Chains A and B, each alone.
Chain A
Amino acid sequence: MESNRHAAFEIQHEPNERSTIQLRGDWLLRSERPTARQMLQELMASDTHTNWAFDCCDLGAWDSALMMTLARVYQAGRDAGHSIDTSGLPDAVQELLELSQAVPEAAVEEPVKSNAGLNEKVGVWTLDTLAGISRYTHFMGQLILDVGSVLRGRTPFRFREFWILIQQAGVQALPIVALLSFLTGLIIAFIGIIQLQKFAADIYVADLVGLVMTRELAAVMTGVIMAGRTGAAYAAQIGSMRVNEEVDALKTFGIEPVAFLALPRVLALVLMMPLLTILSNVISIAGGMVVSVSISSLTFSTYINETIRAVALTDVFVGVFKSLFFGVIIAFAGCYRGLHCGKDAAAVGRATTSAVVTAITWIVIVDAVFAVIFHILGI
């Protein structure tokens, strides 16, 4: 393989106010070469030599490395009012240089930097927040109205698609919900039993796992899993439909997208969340039981009896009741973000992320609110 010749240039200041730029060697991106700045410094050193020309007798191989240098030198020379003779350059270089100079630089307006003070920023933030709340409220109101519209038969409700949505939100979510619930129960029991053994109170690990899972964690864990799985899928599905103009197509037929797309998804998730939560309760208690029986003197029957004694039906009801709201939150966030998604692929990604973050945030907030309410009610 032939080795590269070192790229170099030399400026010949001639008596007739002409500077000739002699290019030598191989001007390639992969090799070292002089910069346009170095070339310009030498060229501009003479005030009297305002005619520039090129000599390429010793120029070897070249690529865009030469072109970017020449384009910069050419532009700077023209800006300084010099006359530049490019006839000494290879024909292809001349053509590319001409092409690069064919369209003048666009006068793109710089984005206006905001000089807003704190008060104005707070005001803008407040207005944006209020507008967001208004959009959310409108979406929620529309969803409620659409239930009536579907019941009156004014809006089509596709049961075949509804069953598919139920399958996606229910049966297909079973394995992941079961696995994570089992592991959660297992972890709580493992940590709990180590502490309880210090007080010879191993038996209460059943109480710990049973109460924590049924009242709180089964619903919250299932909610988080479904937000990441189904809520994100809803945002992506509906967002893609927006990008592909499918939502616009619905509107042109007078079909309300909220009723047609969001309502079945909300209903599917509201129906499936309590069932998944009940499953999570059972599996997580089983997970706790496995670890408790394995590392302590507890037996299966002791563990089950203690769980039955400790966990009241009310505790199960509390978790399942909350899961209904979590289902609404997840489906609502997914559908809302999907329907308000932009019209490019990146916007679908943003909508998906936003749907998951929104859903998880609201699940935690609503769970905290319920904790206070149930405490006040003595449940």
Chain B
Amino acid sequence: MSSTDIMIEAKDLKLAYGSFVVMQNLNFTVHTGEIKVIMGGSGCGKSTLLRHLAGMEAASAGEITIGGEKVGPHEAAMERIRRRFGILFQSGALWSSMTLYENVALPLEQYTDLNANEIADMVEYKLSLVGLKGFGARYPSELSGGMQKRAGLARAMALDPEILFFDEPSAGLDPLSARRLDDLILHLREALGTTIVVVTHELDSIFTIADNALFLDAETRTALAEGPPKKLRNDPASPERVRFFLRRGADADELSNPAHS
């Protein structure tokens, strides 16, 4: 891939809260149409990195760019950049006082000139993409965890973003719902060419969806390795901690490729 394909770029990134350094010396790129998984153990800073990528928090040093424009809560281009991505939060984060219809419609009302009928059609279409057609009148509390996640995805996709960020999409879901969400991620990339960044430590998901994985290490507080997960797992040159982490995913790998098992 050429440098012009780069959608997201992090250069010499340092994430810190006061004197507490979460991550430092992070350098990586995400190319257009790529599914990049940010993985690592619990509490290593994966979600923190995602919040920085989405411009919700400012980096202590270094910079993040999306489409060449600098990202950060106080950056001038942020309003324009926001329309280029959507986020599925770990909890789904649906606005609980609104119906699913209103949740998906709000960004459309805010940022588009669509009339009420067009918005209704668009909401129905987005909900149908995630298998929730006909659920528009329901409130989030009336849905299961998996349905809430999918509804959150429909909202994240409302403005046809070029990039989708997923924060622990499988968290709290049963294996079937998690697999369904993984399939949905793959279909979105396939059909829409969306660039996707997923934060997860679920090995099933990592081996199912990732083109490339970035392994964050809590001990060294930096990225220990980057590459396709299967390569990272099998390459003796990979750091031991990364191989150990990924070896536990052998079953998941076989599950996703039954023909080879």
Contacts and interface: CB of A to CB of B under 8 A. Distances in A.
Contacts of B51: 248
Given A244-B91, A248-B89, A254-B82, A156 B106 contact: yes
Contact of B54 (A244, A250, A252): A252
23 contacts: A161-B98, A241-B95, A241-B96, A244-B91, A244-B93, A244-B96, A246-B95, A248-B51, A248-B56, A249-B87, A249-B89, A249-B95, A249-B155, A251-B56, A252-B56, A252-B85, A253-B82, A253-B107, A253-B111, A254-B79, A254-B83, A254-B110, A255-B110
A245 interface: yes
Contacts of A253: 82, 106-107, 110-111
A156 B56 contact: no
**Centre residue among A156, A244, A250, A252 by max chain B CB count within 10 A:** A252
A252 B82 contact: yes
A254 B107 CA distance: 9
B119 interface: no
Interface string B15-59: 000000000000000000000000000000000000100101000
A273 to B, nearest CB: 22
A45 B89 CA distance: 61
Nearest to B55: A252
A161 B103 CA distance: 13
Nearest to B95: A246
Interface in B100-143: 106-107, 109-111
Most chain B C-beta atoms within 10 Å of own C-beta, residue among A244, A253, A255: A253
A245 B93 contact: yes
Contacts of B56: 248, 251-252
Interface string A253-271: 1110000000000000000
Interface in A215-253: 240-241, 244-246, 248-253
B83 to A, nearest CB: 8
Interface size range of chain B in the complex: 20 to 34
Nearest to A160: B102
Nearest to A255: B110
Contacts, number: 49
A246 B91 CA distance: 9
Contacts of B109: 156
Interface of B: 51, 54, 56, 79, 82-83, 85-87, 89-91, 93-98, 106-107, 109-111, 155
A334 B37 CA distance: 39
A156 B82 contact: no
A379 B41 CA distance: 67
Q: Counting chain A CB atoms within 10 Å of each CB, which of B90, B95, B106, B111 scores highest?
A: B95
B26 to A, nearest CB: 21
B92 to A, nearest CB: 8
Nearest to A249: B93
Given A241-B96, A245-B93, A255-B106, 11 more contacts: A156-B109, A244-B93, A244-B96, A245-B90, A246-B93, A249-B89, A250-B95, A252-B85, A253-B82, A254-B110, A255-B110
Contacts of B107: 253
B234 to A, nearest CB: 30
Interface string A150-161: 000000100001
A338 to B, nearest CB: 13
A248 B152 CA distance: 13
A32 to B, nearest CB: 42
A156 B110 contact: yes
Question: Which among B54, B79, B91 has the highest number of chain A CB atoms within 10 Å?
Answer: B91
A252 B87 contact: yes
B93 A248 contact: yes
B176 to A, nearest CB: 24
B9 to A, nearest CB: 20
A161 B102 CA distance: 11
A170 to B, nearest CB: 18
B91 A245 contact: yes
B108 to A, nearest CB: 10
Contacts of B54: 252
A251 B87 CA distance: 11
Contacts of B91: 244-245
Nearest to B88: A249
A102 to B, nearest CB: 17
Nearest to A247: B93
B201 to A, nearest CB: 18
Contact of B94 (A240, A246, A251): A246
Nearest to A254: B82
B41 to A, nearest CB: 16
A344 to B, nearest CB: 13
Contacts of B93: 244-246, 248-249
A250 B82 CA distance: 11
Contacts of B111: 253-254
A252 B79 CA distance: 9
Contacts of B155: 249
Contacts of A248: 51, 56, 89, 93
Contacts of B98: 161
Contacts of A244: 91, 93, 96
The 8 closest A-B pairs by CB, nearest first: A245-B93, A249-B93, A245-B89, A254-B82, A253-B107, A252-B87, A246-B93, A244-B91
